[in-house]
Structure 1
Protein backbone atom coordinates (compact mmCIF):
# COMPACT_ATOMS: atom_id res chain seq x y z
CA UNK A 1 0.00 0.00 0.00
CA UNK A 2 2.85 2.39 0.83
CA UNK A 3 4.51 1.91 -2.54
CA UNK A 4 1.26 2.63 -4.38
CA UNK A 5 0.96 6.18 -2.93
CA UNK A 6 3.38 8.79 -4.29
CA UNK A 7 2.87 11.02 -1.22
CA UNK A 8 3.95 8.31 1.23
CA UNK A 9 7.53 7.36 1.96
CA UNK A 10 8.44 4.31 4.02
CA UNK A 11 11.19 5.29 6.47
CA UNK A 12 11.65 2.04 8.39
CA UNK A 13 13.36 1.83 11.76
CA UNK A 14 15.23 4.86 13.05
CA UNK A 15 17.46 5.25 16.08
CA UNK A 16 16.94 7.62 19.03
CA UNK A 17 19.01 10.43 17.51
CA UNK A 18 17.19 10.19 14.17
CA UNK A 19 13.83 9.96 15.95
CA UNK A 20 14.09 13.39 17.62
CA UNK A 21 14.94 15.00 14.28
CA UNK A 22 12.28 13.01 12.43
CA UNK A 23 9.47 13.81 14.89
CA UNK A 24 10.66 17.38 15.41
CA UNK A 25 10.38 18.09 11.69
CA UNK A 26 7.04 16.37 11.20
CA UNK A 27 3.80 18.35 11.00
CA UNK A 28 2.04 15.76 13.18
CA UNK A 29 2.16 12.14 14.29
CA UNK A 30 -0.51 9.96 12.71
CA UNK A 31 -0.94 6.91 14.95
CA UNK A 32 -3.55 4.70 13.24
CA UNK A 33 -3.49 1.69 15.54
CA UNK A 34 -6.20 -0.95 15.49
CA UNK A 35 -5.52 -2.58 18.85
CA UNK A 36 -5.95 -1.41 22.42
CA UNK A 37 -2.49 0.08 22.92
CA UNK A 38 -1.79 0.12 26.69
CA UNK A 39 0.56 3.12 26.40
CA UNK A 40 2.04 4.50 23.21
CA UNK A 41 5.56 5.71 24.01
CA UNK A 42 5.79 7.27 20.55
CA UNK A 43 2.85 9.51 21.52
CA UNK A 44 4.77 11.19 24.31
CA UNK A 45 7.92 11.28 22.18
CA UNK A 46 6.00 13.32 19.61
CA UNK A 47 4.58 15.55 22.35
CA UNK A 48 8.11 16.07 23.67
CA UNK A 49 9.00 17.41 20.21
CA UNK A 50 5.94 19.69 20.31
CA UNK A 51 4.12 17.75 17.64
CA UNK A 52 0.36 17.18 17.59
CA UNK A 53 -0.97 13.65 17.45
CA UNK A 54 -3.88 12.17 15.52
CA UNK A 55 -4.76 8.79 16.99
CA UNK A 56 -7.44 6.44 18.28
CA UNK A 57 -7.96 3.43 20.53
CA UNK A 58 -6.39 2.15 23.72
CA UNK A 59 -4.68 4.65 26.00
CA UNK A 60 -4.84 7.45 23.42
CA UNK A 61 -7.60 9.43 25.22
CA UNK A 62 -5.55 9.23 28.43
CA UNK A 63 -2.41 10.59 26.75
CA UNK A 64 -3.80 13.17 24.33
CA UNK A 65 -5.74 16.23 25.40
CA UNK A 66 -8.17 16.46 22.50
CA UNK A 67 -7.84 19.83 20.81
CA UNK A 68 -4.70 20.75 22.79
CA UNK A 69 -2.02 18.13 22.13
CA UNK A 70 -3.77 16.44 19.24
CA UNK A 71 -7.00 14.81 18.22
CA UNK A 72 -8.64 11.59 19.36
CA UNK A 73 -10.42 10.18 16.32
CA UNK A 74 -12.72 7.25 15.69
CA UNK A 75 -12.74 7.02 11.92
CA UNK A 76 -10.75 7.79 8.80
CA UNK A 77 -13.03 10.76 8.10
CA UNK A 78 -12.33 12.17 11.58
CA UNK A 79 -8.59 11.66 11.05
CA UNK A 80 -8.73 13.55 7.75
CA UNK A 81 -10.62 16.41 9.42
CA UNK A 82 -8.09 16.44 12.27
CA UNK A 83 -5.19 16.57 9.80
CA UNK A 84 -6.74 19.73 8.37
CA UNK A 85 -6.87 21.25 11.87
CA UNK A 86 -3.36 20.51 13.18
CA UNK A 87 -1.98 23.92 12.25
CA UNK A 88 -4.32 25.39 14.87
CA UNK A 89 -2.46 23.60 17.66
CA UNK A 90 0.53 25.35 19.24
CA UNK A 91 3.84 23.46 19.46
CA UNK A 92 4.73 25.32 22.64
CA UNK A 93 1.48 24.25 24.35
CA UNK A 94 2.03 20.64 23.29
CA UNK A 95 5.56 20.65 24.70
CA UNK A 96 4.33 22.29 27.94
CA UNK A 97 1.69 19.59 28.33
CA UNK A 98 4.40 16.96 27.86
CA UNK A 99 6.50 18.62 30.58
CA UNK A 100 3.52 18.76 32.95
CA UNK A 101 2.65 15.10 32.53
CA UNK A 102 5.41 12.92 31.08
CA UNK A 103 8.95 14.01 31.94
CA UNK A 104 11.16 11.54 33.80
CA UNK A 105 11.30 14.00 36.73
CA UNK A 106 7.51 14.18 36.94
CA UNK A 107 7.11 10.40 36.79
CA UNK A 108 9.88 9.90 39.39
CA UNK A 109 8.15 12.39 41.74
CA UNK A 110 4.84 10.56 41.30
CA UNK A 111 6.44 7.15 41.93
CA UNK A 112 8.17 8.53 45.04
CA UNK A 113 4.86 9.89 46.35
CA UNK A 114 3.22 6.47 45.92
CA UNK A 115 6.14 4.67 47.56
CA UNK A 116 6.07 7.07 50.50
CA UNK A 117 2.33 6.44 50.93
CA UNK A 118 3.02 2.71 51.03
CA UNK A 119 6.07 2.95 53.32
CA UNK A 120 4.68 5.65 55.64
CA UNK A 121 0.91 5.43 55.59
CA UNK A 122 -1.03 7.95 57.61
CA UNK A 123 -2.45 6.49 60.81
CA UNK A 124 -6.08 5.51 60.57
CA UNK A 125 -8.45 7.71 62.56
CA UNK A 126 -9.48 6.15 65.87
CA UNK A 127 -12.64 4.11 65.76
CA UNK A 128 -15.51 5.39 67.83
CA UNK A 129 -17.83 3.08 69.62
CA UNK A 130 -21.34 3.16 68.34
CA UNK A 131 -23.79 4.52 70.88
CA UNK A 132 -26.63 1.99 70.91
CA UNK A 133 -28.38 3.60 73.85
CA UNK A 134 -30.06 6.25 71.74
CA UNK A 135 -33.36 5.43 70.19
CA UNK A 136 -34.15 2.48 72.51
Structure 2
Protein backbone atom coordinates (compact mmCIF):
# COMPACT_ATOMS: atom_id res chain seq x y z
CA UNK A 1 0.00 0.00 0.00
CA UNK A 2 2.72 2.47 1.01
CA UNK A 3 4.88 1.60 -1.98
CA UNK A 4 1.94 2.05 -4.36
CA UNK A 5 1.16 5.38 -2.65
CA UNK A 6 4.82 6.44 -2.88
CA UNK A 7 5.36 7.04 0.84
CA UNK A 8 7.95 5.57 3.22
CA UNK A 9 6.84 2.58 5.27
CA UNK A 10 8.39 1.89 8.67
CA UNK A 11 7.43 -1.50 10.04
CA UNK A 12 7.59 -1.67 13.82
CA UNK A 13 6.69 -5.19 14.85
CA UNK A 14 7.91 -8.30 16.55
CA UNK A 15 8.13 -11.32 14.29
CA UNK A 16 6.73 -14.26 16.26
CA UNK A 17 7.73 -17.80 15.38
CA UNK A 18 4.19 -18.43 14.16
CA UNK A 19 4.58 -15.55 11.68
CA UNK A 20 8.12 -16.35 10.54
CA UNK A 21 7.04 -18.13 7.35
CA UNK A 22 4.77 -15.25 6.33
CA UNK A 23 7.51 -12.74 7.16
CA UNK A 24 10.06 -14.59 5.02
CA UNK A 25 7.69 -15.06 2.07
CA UNK A 26 5.83 -11.74 2.01
CA UNK A 27 7.47 -9.05 4.16
CA UNK A 28 11.21 -9.68 3.86
CA UNK A 29 11.26 -9.37 0.04
CA UNK A 30 9.85 -5.85 0.46
CA UNK A 31 12.89 -4.80 2.51
CA UNK A 32 14.88 -4.31 -0.69
CA UNK A 33 12.60 -1.44 -1.66
CA UNK A 34 14.04 2.00 -0.73
CA UNK A 35 10.71 3.11 0.80
CA UNK A 36 10.50 0.18 3.23
CA UNK A 37 12.33 -0.03 6.56
CA UNK A 38 11.94 -2.68 9.25
CA UNK A 39 12.40 -1.08 12.67
CA UNK A 40 11.73 -4.20 14.73
CA UNK A 41 9.82 -4.39 17.97
CA UNK A 42 9.50 -1.11 19.85
CA UNK A 43 8.83 -0.70 23.56
CA UNK A 44 5.77 0.91 25.10
CA UNK A 45 7.98 3.90 25.97
CA UNK A 46 9.09 4.30 22.34
CA UNK A 47 5.64 3.82 20.84
CA UNK A 48 4.19 7.33 21.48
CA UNK A 49 7.12 9.06 19.79
CA UNK A 50 7.04 6.60 16.88
CA UNK A 51 3.29 6.95 16.33
CA UNK A 52 3.10 10.72 16.84
CA UNK A 53 5.77 11.14 14.19
CA UNK A 54 3.99 8.86 11.73
CA UNK A 55 2.14 10.12 8.68
CA UNK A 56 -0.47 7.55 9.62
CA UNK A 57 -0.95 3.94 10.66
CA UNK A 58 -1.58 1.33 7.98
CA UNK A 59 -3.40 -1.66 9.41
CA UNK A 60 -4.17 -3.93 6.46
CA UNK A 61 -5.19 -6.90 8.59
CA UNK A 62 -7.48 -9.18 6.62
CA UNK A 63 -9.04 -11.03 9.55
CA UNK A 64 -11.72 -9.91 12.05
CA UNK A 65 -9.51 -8.38 14.75
CA UNK A 66 -11.68 -8.43 17.91
CA UNK A 67 -10.08 -5.27 19.35
CA UNK A 68 -7.27 -3.38 17.69
CA UNK A 69 -5.36 -1.73 20.52
CA UNK A 70 -2.77 -0.34 18.10
CA UNK A 71 -5.52 1.72 16.41
CA UNK A 72 -6.37 3.35 19.73
CA UNK A 73 -2.68 3.89 20.53
CA UNK A 74 -2.29 5.58 17.16
CA UNK A 75 -5.27 7.87 17.74
CA UNK A 76 -3.93 8.72 21.22
CA UNK A 77 -0.86 10.09 19.42
CA UNK A 78 -2.95 11.99 16.88
CA UNK A 79 -2.00 9.68 14.02
CA UNK A 80 -4.80 8.71 11.63
CA UNK A 81 -5.48 5.05 10.84
CA UNK A 82 -6.19 3.29 7.56
CA UNK A 83 -7.67 -0.15 8.15
CA UNK A 84 -9.73 -2.75 6.35
CA UNK A 85 -13.41 -2.99 7.23
CA UNK A 86 -13.02 -6.09 9.39
CA UNK A 87 -13.71 -7.00 13.00
CA UNK A 88 -13.72 -4.08 15.43
CA UNK A 89 -12.44 -1.51 12.91
CA UNK A 90 -15.84 0.18 12.32
CA UNK A 91 -16.36 0.46 16.08
CA UNK A 92 -13.00 2.14 16.64
CA UNK A 93 -12.33 4.26 13.55
CA UNK A 94 -14.62 7.21 12.85
CA UNK A 95 -14.33 7.25 9.05
CA UNK A 96 -13.08 10.62 7.84
CA UNK A 97 -12.36 11.92 11.35
CA UNK A 98 -9.83 9.51 12.88
CA UNK A 99 -8.86 7.70 9.71
CA UNK A 100 -10.32 5.71 6.87
CA UNK A 101 -12.11 2.39 6.76
CA UNK A 102 -11.33 0.75 3.44
CA UNK A 103 -12.49 -2.35 1.59
CA UNK A 104 -9.40 -3.22 -0.44
CA UNK A 105 -5.82 -2.30 -1.30
CA UNK A 106 -6.77 0.28 -3.94
CA UNK A 107 -9.06 2.07 -1.45
CA UNK A 108 -6.21 2.05 1.07
CA UNK A 109 -3.80 3.56 -1.47
CA UNK A 110 -6.33 6.29 -2.23
CA UNK A 111 -6.86 6.92 1.48
CA UNK A 112 -3.13 7.50 1.98
CA UNK A 113 -3.43 10.56 -0.25
CA UNK A 114 -6.12 11.93 2.05
CA UNK A 115 -4.11 11.66 5.28
CA UNK A 116 -2.66 15.15 4.88
CA UNK A 117 -6.11 16.66 5.39
CA UNK A 118 -6.63 14.90 8.73
CA UNK A 119 -6.77 17.08 11.85
CA UNK A 120 -4.39 15.40 14.29
CA UNK A 121 -5.68 17.45 17.24
CA UNK A 122 -9.24 16.31 16.46
CA UNK A 123 -8.02 12.70 16.31
CA UNK A 124 -6.49 13.05 19.78
CA UNK A 125 -9.67 14.70 21.12
CA UNK A 126 -11.76 11.87 19.71
CA UNK A 127 -9.50 9.39 21.51
CA UNK A 128 -9.93 11.31 24.78
CA UNK A 129 -13.70 11.37 24.32
CA UNK A 130 -14.03 7.63 23.66
CA UNK A 131 -11.09 5.56 24.83
CA UNK A 132 -9.43 6.86 28.00
CA UNK A 133 -9.46 5.05 31.34
CA UNK A 134 -11.44 8.00 32.74
CA UNK A 135 -14.11 7.53 30.09
CA UNK A 136 -14.30 3.82 30.83
CA UNK A 137 -14.63 4.47 34.58
CA UNK A 138 -17.38 7.06 33.98
CA UNK A 139 -19.24 4.53 31.82
CA UNK A 140 -18.98 1.91 34.58
CA UNK A 141 -20.28 4.35 37.18
CA UNK A 142 -23.21 5.26 34.91
CA UNK A 143 -24.00 1.57 34.35
CA UNK A 144 -23.89 0.83 38.09
CA UNK A 145 -26.13 3.82 38.87
CA UNK A 146 -28.59 2.68 36.24
CA UNK A 147 -28.72 -0.79 37.78
CA UNK A 148 -29.18 0.65 41.28
CA UNK A 149 -31.99 2.93 40.03
CA UNK A 150 -33.72 -0.05 38.41
CA UNK A 151 -33.48 -2.05 41.64
CA UNK A 152 -34.89 0.89 43.60
CA UNK A 153 -37.80 1.14 41.14
CA UNK A 154 -38.48 -2.59 41.49
CA UNK A 155 -38.55 -2.25 45.29
CA UNK A 156 -41.03 0.62 45.04
CA UNK A 157 -43.28 -1.37 42.74
CA UNK A 158 -43.03 -4.45 44.95
CA UNK A 159 -43.82 -2.48 48.12
CA UNK A 160 -46.80 -0.76 46.47
CA UNK A 161 -48.42 -4.11 45.73
- Specify the TM-score bucket, using the shorter chain as the normaliser: 0.7 to 0.9
1:2 CA displacement = 2.9
Residue pair 1:66, 1:72 contacting (<8 A) in 2 also:
yes
How far, CA to CA, are the matches of 1:40 and 1:115 in structure 2? 27
Residue pair 1:64, 1:71 contacting (<8 A) in 2 also:
yes
With the length of structure 1 as denominator, give the TM-score of the two structures: 0.86
Stretches of 4+ moved more than 6 A in 1? none
| Post-superposition CA distance 1:65-92 (Å, at most 9, x none) | 1001000001000000000000111001
User: For 1:2-41, what aligned pairs fall within 5 Å after superposition?
Assistant: 2-41=30-69
Equivalent of 2:122 in 82, 85, 93: 93
1:116 CA displacement = 3.3
> Gapped runs of 5+ residues in structure 2?
1-28
Give the secondary-structure state (helix, strand or coil) at the position aligned to 2:58: strand
Residue pair 1:23, 1:51 contacting (<8 A) in 2 also:
yes
With the length of structure 2 as denominator, give the TM-score of the two structures: 0.73
Matched, 1:110 2:132: no
1:113 CA displacement = 2.0
Q: Which residue of 1 aligns with 2:93?
A: 64
User: How many residues matched?
Assistant: 126
Equivalent of 1:53 in 35, 56, 81: 81
Q: Which residue of 1 aligns with 2:111?
A: 82
> Gapped runs of 5+ residues in structure 1?
128-136
User: C-alpha root-mean-square deviation of aligned residues, in Å?
Assistant: 1.6
1:62 CA displacement = 0.7
Residue pair 1:69, 1:94 contacting (<8 A) in 2 also:
yes
Q: Which of the pair has more CA radius of gyration?
A: 1
